[in-house]
Amino acid sequence: MLSGIRIVDLTTVIFGPYATQMLADLGAEVIKVETPGTGDISRYLGNGIPDPTMGSIHLTVNRGKRSIALDLKNPADAAVLRDLIATADVFFHNVRGKAIARLGFDYAGCRAIKPDIIYVHGTGFGQDGPYADLQAYDDVIQAATGTTSLLPRVDGDPRPRYLPSLIADKIAGQFGAQAILAALVHKLRTGEGQEVEVPMFECFAAFMLTEHLRDDTLDPPIGPAGYPRQLDPTRQPFPTSDGYLAIVPYTPESTARLMGLLGSAELLETPGYEAAKAKGQHMPIIYSEIARKTPAKTSAEWLVIFADNDIPAMAARDLQDIRADPHFVATDFFRHRTHPDVGAFHEMQPPVKYGAMAPRDLGFAPRVDGDGAAIRTEIAGRPG
């Protein structure tokens, strides 16, 4: 894994901390540099009981890290950060470019401290474009990438709306972790550090437009942007007599089997369906027929039938029910742990399993400056 790799993490909120937690899970030593007193704002996202600086979201994006509080406008604290960078493989921050330069920790400044440093700048927007100096948060990026236009196209309500997830932050975090791993491989092969920019706007656009650029990909375009299957208003969980199911007739074969199970096989032979299929506009017909037939049985009854006939389907659950899912219980995905400061809590385990690498002790999310004294002592005792 990443044992022996030190990452000095000056990022805040979700984007950067999410990225570095994935690397901490892989064995990297992540030193979280925070504002004295208050710490990272992510500490206050979610209820923090009994300590407001140890909020529930902080627990889920900062486990396994060490924390030191530094005021980088204070020369003595800035010197501590310089000493830390001298010991690091990676320095990752999401401070705006002009501000980090004023503090002396731009790429040139850090390369002078550690010539082979991997210097990662998490930005809102690419630094060679007109938005370079703008602030970016998840809502801003969802709006700027056209993501807020998707739900109106599904339900007809013209108001732009956000997806109910910090999805842009988390996707950018995934790109950030990937970028650091790629730069570490390059350094392993060549001995070279480098500057790496991870812009939220571009990362999230690349993620969302994978399917939604659609027919606007070609030049000239042969149709509008937007993936019709995702924007079809009839593509919803289907009602049963006691709940809702997600049912996916994705291939012609599974569609035929599903229509047979519903007693609607003749639908696939009607002229109207054939004409719609020729234009690639047949799925609303299928979805509407499913919704008409599924209320005849309970969710459990349908799930048995669909499993026996290889039809992809799952119950549409409430968030509150997810921890009790029998699959997650069997795989110990939500592990019950006791944090030394917070007490008992449930923690999601890293989802990827490795055959040749033993899982590591994940550690806990730190208190503000919880490791500051120890880190300062380590630096003071460092040779040279």
* DSSP structural state of residue 127: T
Asked if 193 contacts 247 with a C-beta cutoff of 8 angstroms, the reply is no
Bridge partners of residue 98, in order along the sequence = none
Bridge partners of residue 147, in order along the sequence = none
Collect all residues with Cβ–Cβ distance below 8 Å to 306 and sequence separation of at least 6. 247, 258, 261, 312, 313
For residue 264, give the amino acid letter. Answer: S
Q: What are phi and psi of 370, to 5 degrees?
A: -60, -20
Burial class (CB in 10 A: 0-12, 13-18, 19+), 141: buried
CA–CA gap between residue 246 and residue 236 (Å, rounded): 7
CA–CA gap between residue 334 and residue 154 (Å, rounded): 33
- Select which of 169, 215, 318, 361 is catalytic: 169
Number of Cβ within 10 Å of residue 320's Cβ equals: 7
Instruction: Give the strand pairing for 313-315 and 244-247.
Output: antiparallel
Helices (H), 266-360: 271-278, 283-293, 299-308, 326-331
Question: Any catalytic annotation for residue 25?
Answer: no
> Hey, is 247 helix, strand or coil?
strand
Collect all residues with Cβ–Cβ distance below 8 Å to 24 and sequence separation of at least 6. 7, 30, 63, 64, 65, 362, 363
Q: Which two tokens stand for residue 155?
A: 């339900």
* DSSP string for residues in 21-38: HHHHHTT-EEEEEE-TTT
Collect all residues with Cβ–Cβ distance below 8 Å to 218 and sequence separation of at least 6. none
Taken in order 173, 174, 175, 176, the sign of the CA dihedral is positive
> What is the chain's alpha carbon radius of gyration, rounded to the nearest angstrom?
25
Active site residues: 169
